[in-house]
Amino acid sequence: MDLREFIETVATMGELKRLEGAHWDLEIGAITELVAERNGPAILFDKIVDYPAGYRILTNAFGSFKRSALVLGLSPDISGFEMLKAWRNKLKTFKPIPPVQVKSGQVKKNVLTGAEVDLFRFPAVKWHEPDGGRFLGTGTSVIVKDPEEGWVNVGT
C-alpha cells in the first residue's frame, strides 16, 4: 500500500480529517499536538499558508491502533495486544528482499540539482515556539535493527 492508498483507506475508515488553510508557523504543530493527545484522527493539511494546493502534510498517521495495524499489513480491527503478537510473528518469518538496481523509476521523475534545490518548496513546519527553525520529516522516529550485525539505528 502506498501513501495515497493509505490516506484514502484511512478516510474510508472515518479516521482522517482534511484541513485547509492552516499556517506552517506553529498552527499545524498545535493542531497536531491537540489531536494526538485526544487519540484523534490522522490530519491531512492542504492549501497551507504560503504554499500551493497539493503540497500537503499528513500528521498523526499512526495515532491509533487501527491506523498502525493497517500500515503493518494487519487487520485494523485487532486490539493493540493482538497487533503486537501478530507483528512479532511476522518478524519471525521475515525474509529481506534483495535490492534491484534500475536505471529509471518514479523516484527519478523530478530531479533538481545545484541552485534548483530549495527545501522550502515543501511546507516545512515550525512545530513549537522554542524550536530552532522549521523542520521536514522530524515527527517520526524509525528504529531498525540490522538483521546480520545486530546494530540498532534511529532515523527521523
Q: What's the pLDDT tens digit per position in 53-96?
A: 999 999 999 999 999 999 888 999 999 899 999 999 989 998 88
Instruction: Report which residue type is found at 20.
Output: E
Q: Is residue 111 part of a domain?
A: no
Count CB neighbours of 44 within 10 A. Answer: 19
Question: What total number of domains does the chain contain?
Answer: 1
Count CB neighbours of 64 within 10 A. Answer: 19
Q: Is residue 115 part of a domain?
A: no
Q: Is residue 87 part of a domain?
A: yes
Q: Is residue 104 part of a domain?
A: no
Q: Which residues of the chain have pLDDT under 70?
A: 138-144, 153-156
What pLDDT, on a 0 to 100 scale, did the predictor assign at position 139? 61
Decide if 58 contacts 7 (C-beta within 8 A).
Answer: yes
Q: Is residue 109 part of a domain?
A: no
Q: Read off the pTM.
A: 0.80
Domain range for 74 is: 3-91+122-155
What pLDDT, on a 0 to 100 scale, did the predictor assign at position 109? 84
What pLDDT, on a 0 to 100 scale, did the predictor assign at position 147? 77
C-alpha cell at 121: 518548496
Percent helix, strand, coil in the chain, to 5, is 30, 15, 50
Q: Under DSSP, is residue 44 helix (H, G, I), strand (E, B) or coil?
A: strand
Q: Is residue 73 part of a domain?
A: yes
Q: Is residue 48 part of a domain?
A: yes
C-alpha cell at 29: 504543530
Q: Is residue 134 part of a domain?
A: yes
